[in-house]
């Protein structure tokens, strides 16, 4: 019983921690990202909420940032991105490689 309490306490703390971050919502429909890019301040953590609205699974991925999330049909999830250096970070849907992908543009404040 004590272990369950600790697990629920940890999850509630983590949810509150992630909820307080700036959030950017994107949708992926059969490999097409909307929006195609977002701008964020460099050096600041943020959250991306990803929703799959397509007819097949998607894989939201950027290997250099070690971000990978597989989403089934109609599923929504989030990833927390650590502070980025200024630059462009390209994400793909590995299940739809022929599509253009998604960019995060980190800019100096």
Domains and CATH numbers, the chain: 22-107 (2.60.40.420)
Helices (H), 32-81: none
Consecutive 10-residue averages of pLDDT for the chain (109 residues): 64 59 94 94 96 94 92 95 96 87 93
**pLDDT reported for residue 109:** 79
Residue 88 pairs in a beta bridge with 105
pTM of the shown model: 0.77
How does DSSP classify residue 109?
-
Token pair for residue 78? 């989030």
Q: Quick one: pLDDT at residue 2?
A: 72
Q: Give the pLDDT score at 14.
A: 54
CA angle 60, 65, 68 (to 5 degrees): 25
Query: What sections of 20-108 are H helices per DSSP?
Result: none
Total number of residues shown for the chain: 109
């Amino acid at each position: 019983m004590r272990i369950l309490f600790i697990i629920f306490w940890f999850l509630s703390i983590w949810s509150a921690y992630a909820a307080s971050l700036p959030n950017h919502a994107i949708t992926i429909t059969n490999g097409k990202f909307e929006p195609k890019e977002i701008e964020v301040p460099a050096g600041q953590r943020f959250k991306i909420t990803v929703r799959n609205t397509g007819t097949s699974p998607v894989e939201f991925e950027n290997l250099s940032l070690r971000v990978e999330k597989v989403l089934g049909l109609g599923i929504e999830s989030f990833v927390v991105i650590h502070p980025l250096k200024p630059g462009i970070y390209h994400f793909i849907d590995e299940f739809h490689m022929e599509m253009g992908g998604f960019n995060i543009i980190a800019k100096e404040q």
